[in-house]
Amino acid sequence: MSIDNVLTGHGLGIAVTGMTVVFAGLVLVSLYIRVLPRVLEEAGGLARRRRDRQATDSTVVPAALSSADPALLAAIGYVLQAEREHALALDDQRITLREDDEEQRVWTAIGKMRTLATRM
Amino acid sequence: MSIDNVLTGHGLGIAVTGMTVVFAGLVLVSLYIRVLPRVLEEAGGLARRRRDRQATDSTVVPAALSSADPALLAAIGYVLQAEREHALALDDQRITLREDDEEQRVWTAIGKMRTLATRM
Amino acid sequence: MSIDNVLTGHGLGIAVTGMTVVFAGLVLVSLYIRVLPRVLEEAGGLARRRRDRQATDSTVVPAALSSADPALLAAIGYVLQAEREHALALDDQRITLREDDEEQRVWTAIGKMRTLATRM
Amino acid sequence: MDILLEFLGQSGFANVTLGNLVMIAIGITFISLAIVKHYEPLLLVPIGFGAIVGNLAVAPGMSLSVYDEGSVLSYLYYGVSQGIYPPLIFLGIGAMTDFSTMLSNPKLVLLGAAAQVGIFLTLIGALYIGFTPAEAGAIGIIGGADGPTAIFLSAKLAPHLLGAIAISAYSYMALVPVIQPPIMKLLTTREERLIRMKAPRKVTTREKIMFPVGTLIICALIAPGSLVLIGMLMFGNLLKESGVTERLAQTARTGMIDIVTILLGFSVGASTQAQTFLTPQSIGIFALGAISFAIATAGGILAAKAMNLFLTEKINPLVGAAGVSAVPDSARVDQHVGQEEDPNNFLLMHAMAPNVAGVIGSAIAAGILWSVLVG
Amino acid sequence: MDILLEFLGQSGFANVTLGNLVMIAIGITFISLAIVKHYEPLLLVPIGFGAIVGNLAVAPGMSLSVYDEGSVLSYLYYGVSQGIYPPLIFLGIGAMTDFSTMLSNPKLVLLGAAAQVGIFLTLIGALYIGFTPAEAGAIGIIGGADGPTAIFLSAKLAPHLLGAIAISAYSYMALVPVIQPPIMKLLTTREERLIRMKAPRKVTTREKIMFPVGTLIICALIAPGSLVLIGMLMFGNLLKESGVTERLAQTARTGMIDIVTILLGFSVGASTQAQTFLTPQSIGIFALGAISFAIATAGGILAAKAMNLFLTEKINPLVGAAGVSAVPDSARVDQHVGQEEDPNNFLLMHAMAPNVAGVIGSAIAAGILWSVLVG
Amino acid sequence: MDILLEFLGQSGFANVTLGNLVMIAIGITFISLAIVKHYEPLLLVPIGFGAIVGNLAVAPGMSLSVYDEGSVLSYLYYGVSQGIYPPLIFLGIGAMTDFSTMLSNPKLVLLGAAAQVGIFLTLIGALYIGFTPAEAGAIGIIGGADGPTAIFLSAKLAPHLLGAIAISAYSYMALVPVIQPPIMKLLTTREERLIRMKAPRKVTTREKIMFPVGTLIICALIAPGSLVLIGMLMFGNLLKESGVTERLAQTARTGMIDIVTILLGFSVGASTQAQTFLTPQSIGIFALGAISFAIATAGGILAAKAMNLFLTEKINPLVGAAGVSAVPDSARVDQHVGQEEDPNNFLLMHAMAPNVAGVIGSAIAAGILWSVLVG
Ligand code: NA
Ligand code: NA
Ligand code: NA
């Protein structure tokens, strides 16, 4: 047990380097996710029209409720949770056929294709 | 880039051999599946009696409907599809105990065996 | 084919050793499971109070029914089986959050945590 | 044209032997039995199809078969040849097995020990015929009526016989409903077959949790060679019974065991190439395997009759036959034979006790044979 | 301070090249196409993300990339480089494919053979450009429009080109809805595209069970190199159709194929490091790949037209284009193009027959190329 | 008789040491804690049972333990010793983690960085005690409170300490509800613990999709050694969020992670043989591990307090403690301690942000240590 071990092992240098790089990394991630919504907002004109149908909001509890009655919160949370799980269960069954149009109903009619749909 | 490369590499020979063998293979497969139902028909006397319960038809849309109203087709297809998926979901739960008789009901009564049923 | 092969191969010694050890092992297992309930009974004072809610009985058909009408047995077995499978299906969804208190309802309310709950 | 001729020289038509065709026919037979008779389909279908594939893997100069280095089949077979798949199968079996009946019937455990006599008498028979001690041990284990255990031990003691031993073990396991009833009827009286047994007592969750841990320690101390098989079996069972690891148990008993079963069955089947499989040795192995099953069945029944000499609450000796393992077919056969005499006699839950005990017994026997006969 | 500087010298900022950035951009493009256009998302997302990871794996002195011995990525890539993943994918595909339409339309099988002409003409083209025969064979297989088959053959014949061939194959498979329609319209008349085909007959369970066994035997006899791919495809299908192994089929078509797809896609993507990927060869491979798809499409269509010369019940030549495989996109494209002329013409079920026949055809072609060109 | 005696000489009774019995007792304790206290059962049950198995694997001359070449356990352990399992676990975690709270709280990410100070101060402490730099780095990572990351780095830097480091990391992660609260109360005032935080904003699907790609690129550029761990974490998350690969995400977060968890936990447990585990070094590692967790907790809390000096919307410093990772126990502890002061204060969703950021932070730290300290 000796401080020499620390010095010989470059302990301080490694620690300083390490914390510097960890902070640098997470600061960059932090900046990235801070900037992301604005960039998407601005760049999003085209994409938004294309994908409006898909962009669903996350299930974060809205601000107005954050200080509300906990029982209410619990109830809302439960419903969100349940719906999400339901959706997940359905997702599980979903396949990768394009779901966007008329066409789809026809595929379904054939009743043959489903199993092939996830093929490589 | 030169035709010599093709000749040196036996390109033509390989291509001819390849297409010949691919065609030979798929012609044989084609003949096999063409002959199969007739062979089964003829050889099937014994087997048919034994397995009548099992031999269910595939869900191909019958000929008479092929030029029918597409909405009707779609509806039939949907039902077939749904039933098939339902069957599949059940299958998933099925185990490999013989399902053929009285005996079975007793096993079920015990309520112990199920998990062991698929044992090696 | 000769009895010499058996002698040279120590066949009898292996067989005697083998059966001795197999019996020794299963006799010990037999004693262990015979002694187990009594040991648990005696040592169980503290543990029992702590875990009373959990200790559910196995689904073995109770003695009184063992010579009862087989149809009744079958019916009971079926219900037990069905309930058990239902429980299993639910289990499948269960996660490893502690399920023991008030606290839990709050987690549920958040509706965010579930997916992380089984994290390493 | 040269290329076409050369190619045809490599094709199956030029290289498949009569032996291969025989094996392909056997593979088709396995598949048919599984589909028509519902004999162990989860194993006979993969093994049968694997046998077809393995006996078509005969092109000279191409790395195809399980025995060719670097072939895909050789990678899949690695889990067999190194004994990795059997413990993983046992993990899944542990996660699907309810040991309650055994826990409530400790004395029936002994029947699972008695049935292992088939293993050791067969070993002597195999030595007599001229097999080496290691080979004889691997052949004897067929009498354990437990596929994964047989594969595990063969991989250690006699890898060159693995295919024949595995096929023999699974064949007779599939044929348990054919093999056992005559022996059961021969060795028991009608009065014995009519014995009704007392319903088992309730088993607590705590017992079920402590069972796998204690059993592992006992078995591994007494027969270290059984550590991996029994360790995995009990690990799976603990995952099932702990109440807090259900999602792991669920995966172990569904996706995981299914994947391993597919790979194990297919690659064991693919290892049965006629060139290495159709030998006089294999015929000897099949003959010994049949004897082994018969002796094991008799051992269990006679042990039950012997125990009855000392017990006031008699055991129905039919349940002794379940000690061979072959879970759960063997226990179902007991039930069936018992009901031929008395349709209201439900032996199944009693037969499950020696049945699962037989699995443990065979694994211990395999551990002993491994440590005595290896190297 | 020295440590910080030294560390920075190892960091990505110092080592990522322009080529890596290009590949990262390609990876992002793949992911975007999958999400926005829904092109083959189960493959493009893993491949795209893998390409990003692989092109960030450039720190000198650290074992990171698929090409560095002992790295995690190298272990995951092992299943690609040894050709293990593709047969396992085929197992799952077999377990999810219903061959009914093909069984009821035997003559349409030939269209799946005709489309393989793309493979062999591309091989000639690749030889012409200057690739070695083995390389040319691996490149030709892009025209098979079958990812696992392309990876399997490349791993055997030209492992150094595997990344480019796989990416090319999957790219064009994703682009089938863009590539095929113009060719289809060019080679067919409006009258031909209006042809309605007779509905297929019923197929019995027994036919479905006997199909995989017979097909395996035929294909493996005629082209032993296709044994593993077709063996696994038919094994999966037998598990599905046998009626007694549904739990194995279910696992093969869900958990098992998903796991393999994740590992295969990700590690193929990660193998596309700019240092080995951005070469003139890759450009040649992409160009040849496009030609290959076009020829294959034309081959299928022209074969249908040729067959119509002899048939009384005409085939709609559009379904010939499905012979390239790219299941099921290619069959859907046929349906779509057909409905542009006649919205009540349902070609899809007819197109599935050459579509799945094309999978078998490509696997046979791969088997031939492997045995002719290896070593 | 000789055979019986010889066999007994190999049996566990003759070879199990007192140390093995101690380890078996520890294994049983782990299982008990998991079942009774519900501490991290998905890991403590496999590790505990593995420890029992590993300490019974002591028969001389038999290939049983994870350290014996060719043993089944050694094959299962390969995924640990080569660092393959941890990234696959991360894949599953990514596929089950919702990063929404973090995306809506970018500044809380910094708390996940601050908590990594525990890693580096522990490294200095380990050097001081006399461990080599590589060993010290592996020990420090215990403070990352992340099992897979700890195993991954130990496998690279100090494989001989892997068992002790992994057990230490998982033990303290299980004990987070015991370790953290006193430190949290010590370092915060009642007023601070009462701070309510603004509800997070909504996060769009597009943000969630772009997050994993951008984060991977940033982290891998700045610390290439974190590529595999963060790459897999983000890959899993992209599969989850892309909306087109849900079936892959579903498998990654269920069957796949379960299989890997079973194998990882069991084989890590089995590696803790008394002969290599019960050493003075292990005691040092456990002591340093406890210090590491305490420092990390303090680091996160103090960083939150420091940030509050500059922020108008104050952070509740309790959420800083979640920066250690130990997801999600640590975040739940924050919630719990916060509610002791104000039952209507819901900190959990806020605590999840530093919690998941801490996972990324630890992976970056592991990447740095790997590249700085490796051979
Ligand atoms: Na047995
Ligand atoms: Na094709
Ligand atoms: Na951390």
By residue count, chain F amounts to: 375
Q: Between D345 and D3, whose confidence is greater?
A: D345
Contacts with B, D 92-111, CB within 8 Å: 93, 96-98, 100-101
**For residue F252, what is the DSSP state?**
I
Q: What is the mean pLDDT of residues E8-24?
A: 85
> How confident is the model over E90-136, as pLDDT tens digits?
999 999 999 998 999 899 999 999 999 999 999 999 999 999 999 99
* pLDDT surpassing 80 at residue D122: yes
CA distance B99 to F21: 48
Residue type (1 letter), A93: Q
Which residue is it, tokens 């953290």?
F180
Amino acid E49: pLDDT: 98
* pLDDT surpassing 90 at residue C3: no
* pLDDT surpassing 80 at residue A60: no
Q: Is the dihedral of CA D189, D190, D191, D194 positive or negative?
A: positive
Which residue is it, tokens 């520890």?
F26
By residue count, chain A amounts to: 120
In a 13 Å sphere around the CA of F14, the CA atoms on its Cβ side amount to 12
Cβ(F260)–Cβ(F85) under 8 Å? yes
* pLDDT surpassing 70 at residue B56: no
* pLDDT surpassing 50 at residue A87: no
CA dist E350 to A104, D39, D262, E64, E201, Å? Answer: 17, 37, 32, 48, 11
Identify which of C51, C98, C120 has the shortest CB distance to residue F148: C120
- Is the CB of C32 less than 8 angstroms away from the CB of D215? yes
**For residue F255, what is the DSSP state?**
I
Please give, rounded to a whole number of angstroms, the shortest distance from the CA of F89 to a CA of chain A.
21
Q: What is the mean pLDDT of residues E7-13?
A: 74
* pLDDT surpassing 70 at residue A57: no
Counting residues of chain F whose pLDDT is more than 70, the rounded percentage is: 99
* Ligand 2 centroid to residue E360 C-alpha, Å: 7
- Is the CB of C13 less than 8 angstroms away from the CB of F148? no
| D224 Cβ under 8 Å from any chain F Cβ | yes
* Ligand 1 centroid to residue F238 C-alpha, Å: 48
Torsion of CA E269, E275, E277, E280, to 10 degrees: 170
Percentages helix, strand, coil for chain F (3-state, rounded to 5) are 80, 0, 20
* pLDDT surpassing 50 at residue A64: no
Amino acid C57: pLDDT: 42
Q: Classify A99 as helix, strand or coil.
A: coil
Q: Between A59 and D231, whose confidence is greater?
A: D231
> How confident is the model over C28-45, as pLDDT tens digits?
999 999 999 888 888 766
Cβ(F295)–Cβ(F144) under 8 Å? no
Amino acid A56: pLDDT: 45
* Ligand 2 centroid to residue D49 C-alpha, Å: 24
* pLDDT surpassing 60 at residue F16: yes
* Ligand 2 centroid to residue E144 C-alpha, Å: 4
* pLDDT surpassing 50 at residue D335: yes
Cβ(D326)–Cβ(D361) under 8 Å? no
Which chain A residue has the Cα nearest residue E43? A120
> How confident is the model over D228-258, as pLDDT tens digits?
999 999 999 999 999 999 999 999 999 999 9
Q: Which residues contact residue F37 at a Cβ distance below 8 angstroms, ignoring those fewer than 6 apart?
A: none
Cβ(E173)–Cβ(E294) under 8 Å? no
Residue A52's pLDDT band (cuts 50, 70, 90):
low
Torsion of CA D342, D344, D345, D347, to 10 degrees: 120
CA R_g for chain A: 25
Residues of C in contact with A83 (CB under 8 A): none
* pLDDT surpassing 70 at residue D99: yes
Q: What is the mean pLDDT of residues F198-222?
A: 92
Mutate one of A103, A110, A114, A115 to test the B interface: name it (highest B CB count within 10 A): A110
- Is the CB of E98 less than 8 angstroms away from the CB of A112? yes
Amino acid E137: pLDDT: 95
CA dist A69 to A72, C103, E67, E273, F352, Å? Answer: 5, 15, 57, 55, 22
Amino acid E1: pLDDT: 58
CA dist A22 to F144, F353, F365, Å? Answer: 12, 16, 6
Residue A88's pLDDT band (cuts 50, 70, 90):
very low
- Is the CB of A36 less than 8 angstroms away from the CB of F121? no
DSSP output for D207-276: HHHHHHHHHHHHHHHH-GGGHHHHHHHHHHHHHHHSSS-HHHHHHIIIIIHHHHHHHHHHHHHHT--HHH
Please state the pTM of the whole predicted model: 0.86
Identify which of A60, A77, A84 has the shortest CB distance to residue C109: A77
Amino acid A102: pLDDT: 34
CA distance C41 to D81: 46
* ipTM of the complex, rounded to two decimals: 0.85
What is the average pLDDT score of chain D? 92
> How confident is the model over E48-102, as pLDDT tens digits?
999 999 999 988 888 999 999 999 999 999 999 999 999 999 999 999 999 998 9
Amino acid D375: pLDDT: 61
Q: What is the mean pLDDT of residues D274-278?
A: 89
Cβ(E60)–Cβ(E14) under 8 Å? no
**For residue D146, what is the DSSP state?**
-
Residue B104's pLDDT band (cuts 50, 70, 90):
very low
Cβ(D296)–Cβ(D145) under 8 Å? yes
Q: What are the start-end ranges of the H helices in E309-346?
A: 329-341
CA distance D12 to D56: 7
Counting residues of chain D whose pLDDT is more than 70, the rounded percentage is: 99
CA distance D277 to D257: 27
Mutate one of E75, E120, E217, E226 to test the D interface: name it (highest D CB count within 10 A): E217
Q: What is the mean pLDDT of residues F159-165?
A: 94
* Ligand 3 centroid to residue F116 C-alpha, Å: 6
Mutate one of E204, E253, E339, E369 to test the B interface: name it (highest B CB count within 10 A): E204
Amino acid C79: pLDDT: 46
> How confident is the model over F270-320, as pLDDT tens digits?
999 998 889 999 999 999 999 999 999 999 999 999 999 999 889 999 999
Amino acid C78: pLDDT: 47
Q: Where are the beta strands (DSSP E) in chain D?
A: none
> How confident is the model over F31-68, as pLDDT tens digits?
999 999 888 899 999 999 999 999 999 888 889 999 99
Cβ(F199)–Cβ(A62) under 8 Å? yes
| D200 Cβ under 8 Å from any chain C Cβ | yes
CA distance D88 to D81: 14
CA distance D14 to E308: 36
* pLDDT surpassing 60 at residue B61: no
Percentages helix, strand, coil for chain C (3-state, rounded to 5) are 70, 0, 30
Q: Which of D77-91, F3-17, F99-113 has the least mean pLDDT?
A: F3-17
Amino acid D264: pLDDT: 97
* Ligand 3 centroid to residue D39 C-alpha, Å: 52
Cβ(B81)–Cβ(A114) under 8 Å? yes
Cβ(F80)–Cβ(F268) under 8 Å? yes
Amino acid F72: pLDDT: 96
Which residue is it, tokens 């691997």?
D138
Residue D317, classified by CB atoms within 10 Å of its CB into exposed (0-12), middle (13-18) or buried (19+), is buried
Q: Which of A86-90, D238-242, D279-283, F133-137 has the least mean pLDDT?
A: A86-90
Phi/psi of residue A7, each to 5°? -65, -50
Q: Do D and F touch (≥3 CB pairs < 8 Å)?
A: yes
| A105 Cβ under 8 Å from any chain B Cβ | yes
User: What distance lies between CA B47 and its chain's CA centroid?
Assistant: 18
Amino acid A111: pLDDT: 32
Q: What is the mean pLDDT of residues E141-156?
A: 94
Run of H or E including E312: none
Q: What is the mean pLDDT of residues A89-96?
A: 33
> How confident is the model over E330-343, as pLDDT tens digits?
888 888 899 998 88
Angle at F162 between CA F157 and CA F166, to 5 degrees: 120
Residue E2, classified by CB atoms within 10 Å of its CB into exposed (0-12), middle (13-18) or buried (19+), is exposed
Q: What is the mean pLDDT of residues A83-105?
A: 36
> How confident is the model over E271-294, as pLDDT tens digits?
999 988 899 999 999 999 999 999
Cβ(E340)–Cβ(E360) under 8 Å? no
Angle at C81 between CA C78 and CA C84, to 5 degrees: 150
* pLDDT surpassing 80 at residue B45: no
> How confident is the model over A4-18, as pLDDT tens digits?
888 887 889 999 999
What is the average pLDDT score of chain F? 92
Identify which of A25, A57, A61 has the shortest CB distance to residue F222: A25
Contacts with E, D 46-85, CB within 8 Å: 46, 49-50, 52-53, 56-59, 61-62, 64, 70-73, 75-76
CA dist D79 to D86, D261, D265, E130, F177, Å? Answer: 8, 11, 11, 42, 41
Q: Which of A4-18, D267-281, F126-140, F199-213 has the least mean pLDDT?
A: A4-18
Q: Between E105 and D54, whose confidence is greater?
A: D54
| A116 Cβ under 8 Å from any chain E Cβ | yes
Amino acid B99: pLDDT: 33
